[in-house]
Every structure is written in structure tokens, then in C-alpha cells.
Amino acid sequence: MDNPLHYLQLALNEARKSPPKPTNYCVGALLLDTSTATPTIVTTGYTLECPGNTHAEQCCFIKLAAKHNLPEERVGEVLPEEGCVLFTTMEPCAYRASGNITCVERILRCGRIKTVVSGVREPDTFVEGNNGRSILEKAGVKCIYVRGLEEEILEVAKAGHVQQNDEMK
């Protein structure tokens, strides 16, 4: 994983495909296999790519499971035992109001992702104080923030949000 900014940019390209809505963030993600000499993208995903109220990380798992004809909860079986890195434009969620299991729970259930690379923390717009990073770190998952794309990531993430001027707040 020589250039994490490169892979984060690829995740941002995925985020741009997400349909903008006022009730979610447009997030992109990808799973990278770094266990070989040449890192390989295993799968990609973006918010609402799959049916339902799906997050980018969730879409990665759904697509990979479908490719291997497995239920999503067994997706870890087809990932490398070492060297699987999740890149996501925004820190994985630790709370979902929709009733879906969180992206943090999906990552931990997978069992093979030992590193998560994010571009920004989740803003407090929908859930205040997302603690996804701390939950992952307590479970032994290394969490890294890569600087350099924060403004662009947040601009894409909030594409469907209604902007209020200072007088209306």
C-alpha cells in the first residue's frame, strides 16, 4: 500500500456515483488486497448502490458475497487472511437509525479487515459523535486518516444536503 491517497481518490470516485439525498452522505469505499506484490482491488461500493438504504462499505460486502454466491455474513471466507484493507471516504458508521447493522459491525463480522483507511470523520449531521474508529481500534483494527482530500470528500458527501444560510439557522 505505497500510495494510500491514490486508493482514497478511487474511493472518492465511487462516492461521486452515489445519488445525492438530504438524508444520507455520498460515500465511496473499496477493499484492497495487499497480500501480494501488486495490490488488487477486490470490490468497490458507494452509498445506495445496492437496493435498500445501503452504505458504501455494505455495498462492497453485498457485491463480493453475490460474486461468490455466499450470504453477506460469510464474505470474510473469500478475503485474504492477511493484507485486506478497507478504504472509505468517511469513517465507518457505528450507529444506524434505519435498523440495518452498522458498517463497523460488518467489518468486524468479516474478520479479515485489519486496516481501515478513511479520508474524514463522520460529521455530526445525522449521528452525533460517531465512535466507529474507537470501536474498530478496540477490536484490533488499525484506523488511519489520510489527509489531502477532506474538502473534496465533504463536498461530495453532502451533495444532496440542503444548504442553510446564516440567517435561517
Q: Which of 14, 57, 91, 122 is catalytic?
A: 57
DSSP state of 72: G
H-state helical runs in the chain = 4-15, 56-67, 103-110, 132-138, 150-157
DSSP state of 9: H
Q: In what helix (H) or strand (E) does residue 116 lie, and over which residues does it extend?
A: strand 113-120
Residue 167 annotated in active site: no
| Residue 38 CA neighbour count, 13 Å, CB half | 1
List active site positions: 57
